[in-house]
Chain A
Amino acid sequence: MNRCAETKAATPAPSETGMWIFILADMCIFALYFFVFAWDKSQHPEQFIQGQATLNTTLGGANMIILLVSSFFMATAVHAARQLDVARYRHSIRLTLLCGSAFLVIKGFEYSEKLNAGFHVASNEFYRDYFTFTGLHALHVITGLCLLAYALPFGANGNLLHQRARFIENSGLYWHMVDLLWVVLFALIYLVP
């Protein structure tokens, strides 16, 4: 670690205001999905009760825990990047990638379970909402994984970590947004009776 990097290591690189606005816009779009789901549920209560009963709450809950743990590793990676701790940064990013990949594997298993049982996006309003909203969320997970895979080599040395600090901070914000959207989706789709 050189002297310049050491001096700047203590200063957190704040995420760009533009990134906050982008995330807020994305969260507003998802808020509309939450309202659409709640509205559809009020219009077709029986269909939604029956649909919810077919969901695998254990797998959805496992994915909830996996994303919460991944957020912890992501936050740890951001802190490690600020301290120019390359070993901890690489370790934390790898664990975040592992958690994100596990989420997608479980989601894929869940989808195949539903499709094999004959449920698909056009089956009824419940499955339309379920596949659309969880599918869009899964696309966000994939985007987040791409950002993290791109950010992994930044842990090669302290200087590179310092130069790309803002990208890492912004990727962290994005990943936490993916996590918090699942918190609401999981409650709305899987749990709320």
Chain B
Amino acid sequence: MNHFLKDKLFWVLLILLAITLLSWQIFFSVGFEAKTTGILLLVFAFVKVQIIISQYMELNNAILPIRVTFWLWTIAVAGISIGMYGR
């Protein structure tokens, strides 16, 4: 277990799982309005996407134009998806 705790990749997994569980909590909770719930779930999903891209895919190893394009993809797709849902 100590081996895992020293592993950065394992901590990334724990964060991703924590966000997933938080999304489930929001999905099953009745405290939020449907639109707010939807927007929160999409925001959490795209936060997870960005964590996977930066930590597991190691985007920092790629050349600058690729890094910029991936950032733009996340921002654009998240923005359009949330915008289409929230309108």
Contact = CB atoms under 8 A, between A and B. Distances in A.
The binding surface of chain B is classed by DSSP as: helix
A192 B41 contact: yes
Contacts of B76: 31
The binding surface of chain A is classed by DSSP as: helix
Interface in A25-49: 27-28, 31, 34-35, 38-39, 41-42
A66 B9 CA distance: 16
Interface residues of A, number: 42
- Most chain B beta carbons < 10 A, residue from A14, A79, A177, A183: A183
- Most chain B beta carbons < 10 A, residue from A12, A64, A68, A192: A192
Contacts of A31: 73, 76-77, 80
Interface of A: 12, 14-15, 17, 20-21, 24, 27-28, 31, 34-35, 38-39, 41-42, 57, 61, 64-65, 68-69, 71-72, 74-76, 79, 172-173, 176-177, 179-180, 183-184, 186-188, 191-193
8 contacts: A14-B62, A17-B62, A17-B66, A38-B84, A57-B27, A69-B13, A75-B9, A192-B37
Top 9 A-B residue pairs of the complex, sorted by shortest distance between their CB atoms:
A187-B45, A38-B84, A72-B13, A192-B38, A193-B34, A180-B52, A75-B56, A20-B66, A31-B77
